[in-house]
Amino acid sequence: MRNGGAWRAAVAAAALGSLLAAMTTLTACEDARHGAGAGAGGKGAPTSPAATADATRIPDVGDHWQRRIPTDSRQVVAVYGDGKDSPDSTVVLYTRRGSGHGATWDRIRSWPAHNGKKGWTTDHREGDDRSPVGVFTLSDAGGVLKDPGSRLPYTRSAGFAAPRWWGKAYWHDFDYVIAIDYNRVKGTPPNDPTRPEGEGKGGGIWLHMDHGSGTSACVSLSESAMEYLLRTLDPDRHPVVVMGDRADLKSSH
């Protein structure tokens, strides 16, 4: 009986360990397990510098958000949501050329993407299934897979793995992730659960691999897009993400 009790205790401890590991993963896009659709695949199209009315500004971003882009940032990942309540978006990478007031933004590459399944919000709350509108720094990366050559600090851990009770379409969501610095502590792994503004404001919002439909709040892209961003975003160039639906992004106040 004593041996049987010890065996049952060991099984229970192992099960608890698996549950705790899964809970760590659930800090990001925990509702991604519901539903799947057509993928936002594709390798992304290299583009020539965009012809804009004012090349010193990020296109289709109004004064309100333009002013929030740090002056030392030389890389911007812009996420243009199709609509306030749409899960579909386009991600564009811009790099800054030159210095001072005459510096210009070049459009480098773009990809189809997904955002929160219910769209966007300027007041994100835990569980609202909407991505937060705003300008956020990009400081840390990680994932299940080995570092593909990331310039951002990269943490490889099985703790990123999606629980296997999620649908198979979601199992590789967190193979690569880049933390969006919304309600998190910079300089920590993306799956660190600390939320300085409190649990109610949500957190664990990442750029991660796409599963074919909207997310809980993250932005998802193809594997090739994530690899490209990981190899390109450079801490010395102070990368940020500017994200939101097109109407909110164009806001001037």
Which of 38-47, 130-139, 187-196, 214-223 comes out lowest in average pLDDT?
38-47
For 18-32, what is the mean pLDDT? 46
The string of pLDDT tens digits covering residues 164-185 is: 998 999 999 999 999 999 999 9
- Regarding predicted confidence, which is higher, 167 or 33? 167
Residue 197, pLDDT above cutoff 70: yes
Q: Is the pLDDT of residue 2 over 70?
A: no
pLDDT value of position 56? 92
Q: Which run of H or of E encompasses 205?
A: none
Q: Which of 46-60, 117-131, 147-161, 235-249 has the lowest mean pLDDT?
A: 46-60
Question: What residues form DSSP beta bridges with 78?
Answer: 92, 242
- Find residue 111's DSSP bridge partners: 91
pLDDT band at residue 10 under the 50/70/90 scheme: very low
What is the rounded (10 degree) CA torsion for 111, 112, 113, 117?
A: 170
Q: Are 90 and 253 in contact (CB under 8 A)?
A: no
Q: Which residues of 8-39 are buried (b: 16+ CB within 10 A; e: fewer)?
A: eeeeeeeeeeeeebbebbbbbbbbbbeeeeee
- Look over the chain and give the mean of its residue pLDDT values, rounded to a whole number: 85
158: amino acid identity, one letter:
A
Report how far residue 250's alpha carbon sits from residue 65's, in angstroms, rounded to the nearest whole number: 8
Provide the pLDDT for residue 146. Answer: 98
Residues 6+ apart with CB under 8 A from 7: none
CA distance linking residue 65 with residue 27, whole number of Å: 27
Query: Who has greater pLDDT, 53 or 241?
Result: 241
In the structure, what pLDDT confidence band is assigned to residue 98 with cuts at 50, 70 and 90? confident
- The span from the CA of 93 to the CA of 140, in Å, is 17
C-beta of residue 25 within 8 angstroms of C-beta of residue 171: no
pLDDT of amino acid 171: 93
Confidence of residue 156 (pLDDT cuts 50, 70, 90): very high
Percent of the chain having pLDDT more than 90? 74
Token digits for 35? Answer: 């539903």
* Strand ranges inside the chain, DSSP E: 45-46, 75-81, 88-97, 104-114, 120-121, 131-132, 134-143, 154-156, 177-180, 206-209, 219-221, 240-245
Among the residue ranges 36-45, 63-72, 203-212, the one predicted with the least confidence is: 36-45
- For range 100-115, the mean pLDDT: 94
Domain 2-249: homologous superfamily in CATH: L,D-transpeptidase catalytic domain-like (2.40.440.10)
Instruction: Spell out the domain ranges in the chain.
Output: 2-249
Q: How confident is the model at residue 215 (pLDDT cuts 50, 70, 90)?
A: very high
Count how many Cα atoms sit within 13 Å of the Cα of residue 149 in the half-sphere of its side chain. 6
Q: With beta carbons less than 8 A apart as the criterion, state whether 211 and 38 touch.
A: no
